[in-house]
Structure 1
């Protein structure tokens, strides 16, 4: 039996709790921690977690030798510190996205994982959705040919009051806007499907609709990869309908999630001629792929539990989380410095540390309102990448 603690019992924690409760024969939630203990108590009552003891600080559990795994569901600026403390105390970690506020913090987390031998997993639950998993498998067949272009729409919509919550909308505590905290999902998927980070980034940042927030609510980045492939990544909190898309164009065809396929052959004069045969072949392959037993957070939690039981690594490791942060950091550097940025980002680069980021970002607006908690705790987590 794997004993689990959950640090941070705000909105996203319910996805972790529900996930663990799907596997009652394999794990048990034994601790809930929140700086607002009443929130942890409410979660314990809501989900009938009778074995879960409530604490007000993660430091209060560090002496417990019965905790095997800690889910970290706090604001980003404390992800690194809590993760490192827990791993040093002998606990494995599953940390919510984004992994940390800076590459320096990511590297400290990875170093601690290596030194302690404890697992470090990072939440990127959208990989555990049938349309995304099966898009990746279809890409890996090579049937569309060499990838030459990717189009990524990380479209979300958040009202003005979204940034009233005390830790949101500040560079110090949220560590970024839609690029870091929303497009993080799409950036993880893009890196996964492309096999790593691009070599060059050009980006534009803006805040067009949230004047109570220091951070961006829109960003557009053009990426260039070794070998010549390019991509366009748009992140937004102003797109009604949140119609998200991840699309890859190969030499022979395009495929995307939500699933869509179009294949072209060249006529003698260079104009396109539709290749129905290849489209049918791609669709037949895609539709024959097996469905996941569990999707989203539950799917990733099942993968983590299996890794702990078998002494292996989960699908989404700290290295994957770091790659995501590196690309996001490059987008911020390019946007604020208004120039092309080459990757990787060196350790002596000012953007490598949280302090350096704070010195180089330019707040779009001043945060004007701060409330401790919303009464309405219901949230949505975006597209499921199925047909709209």
Structure 2
């Protein structure tokens, strides 16, 4: 029975707790920690974890408990420090996205994992979704042909009060805006499906959130060998209609699911009816996808529990988390400096270092409201739409 600790008991911690509770024969949550006095104990009681010990300090938790795995679900600026402390204490780590605000911190986390022989995984729960797994399987099959163009829309919507929470909307504590903390999922999927680009250009804006220093909208173009991938990162899109649309030489596929395959006449114009045979082949491949036993956080947590038990690489490791941060960093560098950024970013690049964003990033607005907690439920995507 693996012993689990949770550091940070805010909103996203509930997804971790739910995930671990799906595997009662494999693990037990024995400790919770939050810097707000009494919060860890209150969350434990609310969620049926009466036997879990509560701490106000991660240092105290790591010193007192003999854990196999810890989930870190705290604000991004604390991820590196807490992850490194846990790894040095001999505990494997599953850290929430984003891995850390800088590549320098990501590399320190990776080094700590290697030096202490521990496992490090970064949350990328959208890889553990049947629709995204199906899309990747189709792209990997080669049926679409080489990718020409993709549109990746990380479209979210948040009201202005969202940034009233004390750590949000600041370069220092949140580490960035929607590009880092919302589109990180889609940027991870972009890396997973298409690999690493060779260059990035981007623009940043704050279009609708006056209580936030950081961007609420960015548009980036990622350059590959011959393909271009557009990524829109947003918390200003009503309806939160997210999508990945991929144009291959032979067919277009997308999530939400759609398949189109054009065929050319002798003059190069589209032939009526397209290529129904290729469409049928792609549809058959998609239909053959074996559904995942668990999706989202439970899917990744189940994989991580297996990795801890078997001492194998998790499906999403620290290097995967770093790749997503490298894309975010390139988007910020391109948008702030108004130039094309070549990848990979070297350690002597100023944007590799922690602190460069604090020095160079624009304050679109100054944060005037700062609250320790916000009322109301956390609603995202389909859960919000269901209430309309």
Shorter-chain TM-score bucket reads over 0.9
* Aligned pairs (5 A) from 1:197-346: 197-225=196-224, 227-273=225-271, 274-346=274-346
- Residue 38 of structure 1 and its aligned partner are, at CA, apart by 2.2
- Residue 109 of structure 1 and its aligned partner are, at CA, apart by 0.2
- Does the residue aligned with 2:345 lie in a helix, a strand or coil? coil
- Does the residue aligned with 1:261 lie in a helix, a strand or coil? strand
Structure 1 unaligned blocks of 5 or more = none
**1:239-264 Cα shifts (integer Å, max 9, x gaps):** 11100001211110011111111111
- Residue 48 of structure 1 and its aligned partner are, at CA, apart by 1.2
Q: Determine the structure 1 residue equivalent to 2:88.
A: 88
- Does the residue aligned with 2:172 lie in a helix, a strand or coil? coil
- Residue 203 of structure 1 and its aligned partner are, at CA, apart by 0.2
* Aligned pairs (5 A) from 1:70-149: 70-149=70-149
Q: Determine the structure 1 residue equivalent to 2:386.
A: none
Q: Determine the structure 2 residue equivalent to 1:42.
A: 42
2:89, 2:100 → 1: CA distance? 19
**1:255-313 Cα shifts (integer Å, max 9, x gaps):** 11111111111111111231111111101110121111100000000010111111111
- Does the residue aligned with 1:289 lie in a helix, a strand or coil? coil
CA contact (8 A) 2:38 2:56 kept: no
Residues matched between the structures, number: 381
* Aligned pairs (5 A) from 1:42-61: 42-61=42-61
- Residue 50 of structure 1 and its aligned partner are, at CA, apart by 2.3
1:40, 1:63 → 2: CA distance? 17
Structure 2 unaligned blocks of 5 or more = 384-388
User: Is the aligned partner of 1:7 residue 2:20?
Assistant: no
- Does the residue aligned with 1:232 lie in a helix, a strand or coil? strand
1:198, 1:37 → 2: CA distance? 45
- Does the residue aligned with 1:240 lie in a helix, a strand or coil? coil
314-323 vs 35-44, greater mean Cα deviation: 35-44
2:308, 2:68 → 1: CA distance? 9
**1:119-170 Cα shifts (integer Å, max 9, x gaps):** 0000010110100011111111101111111110100000010000000000
Q: Determine the structure 1 residue equivalent to 2:68.
A: 68
2:293, 2:378 → 1: CA distance? 24
- Residue 213 of structure 1 and its aligned partner are, at CA, apart by 0.3
Q: Determine the structure 2 residue equivalent to 1:167.
A: 167
Q: Cα RMSD over matched residues?
A: 1.1
CA contact (8 A) 1:206 1:219 kept: yes
Q: Determine the structure 1 residue equivalent to 2:373.
A: 373
- Residue 40 of structure 1 and its aligned partner are, at CA, apart by 1.1
Q: Normalising by structure 2, what TM-score?
A: 0.96
**1:53-81 Cα shifts (integer Å, max 9, x gaps):** 00011101222452110100000000000
CA contact (8 A) 2:72 2:94 kept: yes
2:8, 2:380 → 1: CA distance? 18
2:175, 2:13 → 1: CA distance? 20
1:343, 1:383 → 2: CA distance? 35
CA contact (8 A) 2:135 2:254 kept: yes
Q: Normalising by structure 1, what TM-score?
A: 0.96
CA contact (8 A) 1:243 1:383 kept: no
- Does the residue aligned with 1:204 lie in a helix, a strand or coil? strand
- Does the residue aligned with 1:62 lie in a helix, a strand or coil? helix
- Residue 37 of structure 1 and its aligned partner are, at CA, apart by 3.1
1:232, 1:91 → 2: CA distance? 38
2:96, 2:297 → 1: CA distance? 10
